[in-house]
Amino acid sequence: MASPWIDPAQPDAAWESAAPPRLVAWALERFRHQRMVLTTSFGMEGCALIDMVAGHGVPLDVVYLDTMFLFPETYALRDRMAARYPHLAFVNRGTTLEPEAQAEQYGAELWRHDPDRCCAIRKVEPMQSALAGADVWLTGLMRIQSPSRSALPVVTWDWQYQVLKVSPLASWDRARVWDYVQRHGVPYNPLHERGYPTVGCTHCTAPVAGSVPGEYSRAGRWSGTSKTECGLHYTAQGTIERKV
Ligand code: SF4
């Protein structure tokens, strides 16, 4: 099933590398009558995207999934973002399954013996609920983030959630995001300056030696395993799960 909203004449090379602020402006106008949801894990890319959206003054839900395993710095960043952008609603659509209940049902430290199941419970299933009824999903994905994301179109139909996925930052890299964040005074997670290129759950995120905020890397996520993705956008092995 193809999305009815993609103009086939539009996605050319220039379009796919257009400046993210321009693509954000286009998306907010193009889909102003659709139900749009912006999701974030409060990584640097997501914070930049939120800032670009906020500049348009459009009231929008910014959905995040509190896995209950986030770093204290991430919760503090959420509060700073909410204070800076009061017209945006920061909405937690994370799991209600308490860690203790998860341990009782699935065994202790599920993230160690079955991280895919843990991510399914604490990320993928809540995201399915969060996107139910949404028409358009704004994400901070970039092509350089991983081989599985390298062909990411700015606009694509997401087969897993049956929603139109728009990724305005697709053509950028971390250096450009870092430059944007600094020039616009966008809040970001201080862990990026303490060796964490990306910040996820405490159990599955480790610092990376030599890491600097202006360089993206997924090293440090699920270290010592073959898992590269949480399953929100691609399978744990980096493929696209196609459902019809
Ligand atoms: S990143 Fe780790 S702790 Fe977080 S949901 Fe996935 S497996 Fe569980």
**Residue 230 annotated as catalytic:** yes
Residue 234 pLDDT class (50, 70, 90 cuts): low
pLDDT of 6: 54
Which CATH number does 13-204 carry? 3.40.50.620
pLDDT at 175 over 50: yes
pLDDT of 227: 82
Ligand 1, atom 6: closest residue by C-alpha: 119
What average pLDDT score do residues 18-41 get?
A: 95
Could you say which of 118, 119, 201, 230 is catalytic? 230
Which pTM was predicted? 0.91
Burial of residue 142 (CB within 10 Å: 0-12, 13-18, 19+) is buried
The three-point CA angle 89-93-95 to 5° equals: 155
pLDDT at 237 over 70: no
pLDDT at 149 over 60: yes
Residue 235 pLDDT class (50, 70, 90 cuts): low
Pocket test for ligand 1, best of 68, 118, 229 (most atoms within 8 A of CB): 118
Residues in the chain: 244
Please give the distance, rounded to the nearest whole angstrom, from the Cα atom of residue 179 to the centre of ligand 1: 29
pLDDT of 59: 87
Residue 9 pLDDT class (50, 70, 90 cuts): low
pLDDT of 206: 92
CB atoms within 10 A of CB 188: 23
Ligand 1 cavity residues, CB under 6 Å: 67, 69, 111, 115, 118-119, 122-123, 200-201, 203-204, 230
Is the pLDDT higher at 183 or at 242? 183
pLDDT of 15: 85
What average pLDDT score do residues 155-178 get?
A: 95
pLDDT of 90: 97
Please give the distance, rounded to the nearest whole angstrom, from the Cα atom of residue 95 to the centre of ligand 1: 12
CA pair distance 41, 227, nearest whole angstrom: 18
Pocket test for ligand 1, best of 41, 42, 67 (most atoms within 8 A of CB): 67
Is the pLDDT higher at 117 or at 8? 117
pLDDT at 136 over 50: yes
133-137, 177-181, 213-217, 221-225: the lowest-pLDDT one: 221-225
Q: Is the separation of the CB atoms in 142 and 216 below 8 Å?
A: yes
pLDDT of 140: 96
DSSP 74-129: HHHHHHHHHHH-TTSEEEE------HHHHHHHH-TTHHHH-HHHHHIIIIIHHHHH
List pLDDT tens digits, range 67-124. Answer: 999 999 999 999 999 999 999 999 999 999 999 999 999 999 999 999 999 999 999 9
pLDDT of 1: 40
Residue 146 pLDDT class (50, 70, 90 cuts): confident
